[in-house]
Amino acid sequence: MRSVPRAVRWLLVVVALLGGAAVAVPFLVPVSRFIPEIARSASGSIGQPVAIAGLRAQLLPTPRLVAEGIRIGKKDEVVIGELEIVPELLSFFSGKRTIRLLRAERIELKEAALSIPDRMPKGGDPVQIRRLELLDIRLQHSTLKLPPFHVEVRMGSGREVETARIDTSDGALKLLAHPDGAGKTIVKLEASRWRLPLAAAPLVFDSLKADGILIGKRLDLTNIDARQYGGTLQGNARVDWTKSWQVTGAAKIAGIDLTAAQGALGIEPRLSGKLDATTKFSATAKSPEQLASVLAVDGPFNVANGVYRGIDFAMVGDLTGSKGAGGSTRFDELRGVLRLLGKRIRINNLCVKSPGLRAAGFVELAPDQALTGRLDVSVAKTGGYVGVPVALSGTRQDPVVRPTKGYTVGAVLGSVLLPGVGTALGASAGAAAEGKAGDCK
């Protein structure tokens, strides 16, 4: 058998020595003694206390440092299970210091951690990072309810982002971003069976696609296409956080199943039917989590072939009380103009139609669920339609509906002055004096 060439033997010897070094270096070089110095340096860079539980060096597969149990902030606003730093070794001897890969796992973020970047010291000579991987990020937030997610960012030599990707661990959401020159970044979002991460509005999208452009601190979503609750949503939105957080946009909704949508929001379904609407929305707040509480929505809507459970408007003409409450009203069409501001809802130009009913007016629901409003209700009788103006009160869960004071007083006076026919004449006169609450043609 021919002997192994000398060059190959030398190569095998070198590989064996490197392998032995890879095993021995972490033990021969006690890198843990550098933990206090590294922690102080990191603390000065980010302006927050930093603690590191463990530190070790590895040569394979490439030289790197691995830190464990990292805590950042006075109240541990950021906790990182493991942080892996893979440097470009030659850059630390000449040129700009560069990290080829910065990889962190098991990251826990408290709500206060989101403000740390704004308080970091300015200036300095930051290390260049080529690739950033953040795995299993869990955010503890009072209003944002996010599943665990991952972030991957690739950066160029000038610290500009070349590509960025965000994925939820359940695969429901993917967000891609890449620069397109002139300070623009193209953004694409795709989601399926994704829950909107707002505690106040936990809606679920069967599918969602959105294309947009990010310029500085402004994101324009020019094309939003969603499927949810048996219907569709198409629209656009702009988010601007240059000074404060601002959201504006418009949406066209078609065929949304109201029973399913109310159930998703944790609301007892009082109104059923298919919703069509054209709306504009806006909100301005100091922080993104406050946007939902100040959101304003305006626009006309229509609900077809539904039922309102809580009032039977065919029974509201009884002068002795609110016999309509607790019943239900079927309708062929319910339309109006929605005005929503935070948790306050008002519907103007309300019109409810069915073969035996017409109702027109306005309804308002306060943040504490108090119900107010006035409707002109006309119910089909043998001799035609009989009109009754009614006032709404009570709460959304327990509505109270009664003929208006003018209608009731007029009916009583009519009965006293002219028993029998005077009741109807007096009621009509009292209602006319109050004026119309609305029109429903």
Per-residue pLDDT in tens (0 to 9) along the chain, 441 residues = 444 455 555 555 555 555 444 444 454 456 777 788 888 888 887 888 889 898 888 777 778 888 899 998 889 999 999 999 888 877 667 767 788 888 999 999 998 888 877 777 766 556 788 899 999 999 998 877 889 999 999 988 766 788 999 999 999 999 999 988 778 899 999 999 988 877 666 788 999 999 999 998 999 999 999 999 999 999 999 999 998 999 999 999 999 999 998 888 778 888 899 999 999 999 999 888 788 889 999 999 999 999 988 877 777 655 444 455 667 889 999 999 999 998 899 999 999 998 888 888 899 999 998 989 888 888 776 454 567 788 888 888 888 877 765 444 333 333 333 334 333 433 343 344 444 555 677
Residue 52 lies in a domain: yes
Residue 122 one-letter amino acid: K
Dihedrals φ, ψ of 313, to 5°? -65, -15
Model pLDDT, residue 92: 67
Residue 375 lies in a domain: no
Residue found under tokens 């306060």: 366
Report yes or no: 106 and 146 within 8 Å, Cβ to Cβ. Answer: no
- CA–CA distance from 301 to each of 65, 239, 253, 280, 332 (Å)? 60, 25, 9, 12, 14
Residue found under tokens 């948790």: 343
Strand 98-110 and strand 128-129: pairing?
Answer: parallel
Report yes or no: 208 and 225 within 8 Å, Cβ to Cβ. Answer: yes
Model pLDDT, residue 312: 79
Residue 326 lies in a domain: no
Residue 114 lies in a domain: yes
pTM value is 0.74
Measured distance CA(440)–CA(332) in Å, rounded: 13
Report yes or no: 303 and 258 within 8 Å, Cβ to Cβ. Answer: yes
Residue 132 lies in a domain: yes
Q: Count of domains in the chain? A: 1
Model pLDDT, residue 342: 86
Model pLDDT, residue 166: 94
Residue 126 lies in a domain: yes
Model pLDDT, residue 317: 53
Residue 89 lies in a domain: yes
- What is the SS3 string spanning the chain? CCCCCHHHHHHHHHHHHHHHHHHHHHHHCCHHHHHHHHHHHHHHHHCCCEEEEEEEEECCCCCEEEEEEEEECCCCCEEEEEEEEEECHHHHCCCCCEEEEEEEEEEEEEHHHHHCHHHCCCCCCCCEECEEEEEEEEEECCCECCCCEEEEEEECCCCCEEEEEEEECCCCEEEEEEECCCCEEEEEEEEEEEECCECCCCCEEEEEEEEEEEECCEEEEEEEEEEECCEEEEEEEEEECCCCEEEEEEEEEEEEEHHHHHHHCCCCCCECCEEEEEEEEEEEECCHHHCHHHCEEEEEEEEEEEEEEEECHHHCCCCCCCCCEEEEEEEEEEEEEEEEECCEEEEEEEEEEECCEEEEEEEEECCCCEEEEEEEEEEEECCEEEEEEEEEEEECCCEEEEECHHHHHHHHHHHHHCCCHHHHHHHHHHHHHHCCCCCCC
Model pLDDT, residue 268: 83
Tokens standing for residue 120:
């970091």
Tokens standing for residue 24:
């021995």
Residue 65 belongs to domain spanning:
22-140
Model pLDDT, residue 28: 46
Tokens standing for residue 203:
């809606």
Residue 259 lies in a domain: no
Model pLDDT, residue 225: 97
Q: In the chain, how long is the greatest CA-to-CA distance?
A: 132
